[in-house]
Structure 1
């Protein structure tokens, strides 16, 4: 089991902003996951990886692929209180799900 969080590298988020957006994405996708998947993921150590995307369109392409694969996913839009404009798409979580399925969607991306 694995979850991949893909954050935009093209918008210059500070480290704290990046950490918050990654956390929002992870929790949002987890909350939309079925009970059995949540239990399996928690029992296997809650494996996560944070990856880079270079734009909003790339995040939406990955979200579409996750949808087609039947994986839970969540797109995060910033509220705009600090560094970014309101509604800026910042991150996407894919999974938790079976590691090989998550990797088919996100496996070509670089680590953040």
Structure 2
């Protein structure tokens, strides 16, 4: 009797389980969950720009927080290598590349910094350094105190043969010099407070 009772109870339990599962997977049960998940995902997407903008403001403030005088003017310094002995036109083009390259780099992420610099009439100073090693040291020093930098590597379109060594002679000079395409020609530092930028480039000679 007991055995027959157990055999009769098992189908009844299985039917109950199947009935519960069937009710769980009915559309009216999981559609609300899908709707809630969709709304939650949209809220997360809307919060991402807010977080990104907050991060951008913190980065811009980092560049503008390393001076004791918040009313101090800002400037950009362009550093040109002396050992390459580039012509005046070449120097002008490399400095333009450095300034516009750094501006484009900061335009999307540090607009507050650029607006402050523009209010100072986009002050730019051109100085010189002896060689690439000195340029690298200036870049490292600038970045170590939070100043943005941008380096221009020559493309080899003028005064340089791409991928080769080109020997050039200076006017009124019997000396030859060479420039290798891909060499670092100019370094842009800033914009930053005058005193902060001068702590890196203040000892460099004006070009």
Q: What interval of TM-score do these two structures reach, taking the shorter chain for normalisation? A: over 0.9
Q: How does 1:1-20 map to 2 (within 5 A)?
A: 1-20=74-93
> Distance in 1 between the 2:130 and 2:83 partners?
5
Tell me which residue corresponds to 1:81. 157
> Distance in 1 between the 2:143 and 2:93 partners?
24
Q: Secondary structure at the match of 1:67?
A: helix
Normalised to the residue count of structure 2, the TM-score between the two structures is 0.53
Q: Secondary structure at the match of 2:86?
A: coil
Which of 118, 137, 141 is the matching residue for 1:42?
A: 118
Q: How does 1:1-112 map to 2 (within 5 A)?
A: 1-33=74-106, 34-84=110-160, 85-112=180-207
Q: Secondary structure at the match of 1:12?
A: coil
C-alpha distance after superposition, 1:42-101 (max 9, x if no partner): 011111100011100111100001110111111110001221332011010110111111
Q: Secondary structure at the match of 1:104?
A: helix
- Tell me which structure has the larger Cα radius of gyration: 2
C-alpha distance after superposition, 1:12-47 (max 9, x if no partner): 101110000011111112222311010000011111
After superposition, the CA RMSD in angstroms is 0.9
Greater RCO, CA 8 A, separation 6+: 1
Q: Secondary structure at the match of 1:46?
A: coil
Higher strand share: 1
Q: Secondary structure at the match of 1:76?
A: strand
Structure 2 residue runs without a partner (length 5+): 1-73, 161-179
Detail structure 1 runs of 4+ shifted over 3 Å in the superposition: none
Paired residues, what number? 112
